[in-house]
């Protein structure tokens, strides 16, 4: 079922309402710019940060930016797509993107796809002109083939 523009706006508004999300582990670094309602996605982020200096560098860069990254599972993704990033909005000096991941088997595979999509988020973060008014519009996709 395709999301209509009104439904997408509603989803974004709901995400904006719940901006103070925390990680389950109080000893882990609290990320303000990478957010999710899914505990499993939080766990993947934490595992990626613990196990990979590159992953940690991506999250650090995003934490220093004006970009908010929402992590979501995409159970309706086509079978050939493992993940994708979509630009949502820019308002009040903050830009919003959604990283959608198809639920994958091994955590290492999901972390790799997540890191790939976070790299795209960093690329957006580093280009302040990237907004809904720029030609970037759309999404990036990662295939599992």
Q: Is residue 7 part of a domain?
A: no
pLDDT digits (tens, 9 = 90+) for 33-88: 999 999 999 999 999 999 999 999 999 999 999 999 999 999 998 989 999 999 99
Given CA atoms 38, 115, 103, 3 in this order, what sign does their dihedral have? Answer: positive
pLDDT of the residue at 104: 81
The answer to the question of residue 43 being in a domain is: yes
pTM above 0.75, yes or no: no
Assess if residue 114 is contained within a domain: yes
- Provide the number of structural domains found in the chain: 1
Decide if pLDDT at 23 tops 60.
no
Domain containing 42 equals 34-143
Is residue 4 one of the residues assigned to a domain? no
Q: Dump strand ranges (E) for the chain.
A: 34-36, 67-73, 81-91, 94-101, 139-143
Q: Is residue 24 part of a domain?
A: no
Is 16 a member of any domain? no
Q: In what order do the strands lie in the sheet with 94-101?
A: 34-36, 67-73, 94-101, 81-91, 139-143
């Amino acid at each position: 079922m395709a999301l209509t523009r009104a439904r997408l706006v509603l989803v974004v508004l709901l995400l904006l309402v719940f901006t103070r999300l925390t990680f389950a582990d109080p000893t882990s670094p609290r990320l303000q710019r990478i957010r999710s309602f899914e505990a499993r996605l939080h766990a993947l982020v934490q595992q990626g940060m613990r196990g990979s200096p590159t992953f940690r560098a991506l999250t650090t860069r995003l934490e220093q930016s004006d970009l908010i990254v929402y992590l979501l599972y995409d159970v309706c993704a086509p079978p050939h797509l493992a993940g994708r990033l979509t630009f949502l909005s820019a308002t009040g000096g903050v830009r919003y993107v959604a990283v959608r991941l198809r639920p994958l088997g091994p955590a290492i595979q999901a972390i790799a796809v997540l890191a790939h999509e976070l790299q795209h988020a960093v690329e957006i973060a580093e280009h302040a002109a990237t907004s809904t008014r720029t030609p970037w519009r759309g999404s990036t996709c990662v295939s599992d083939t």
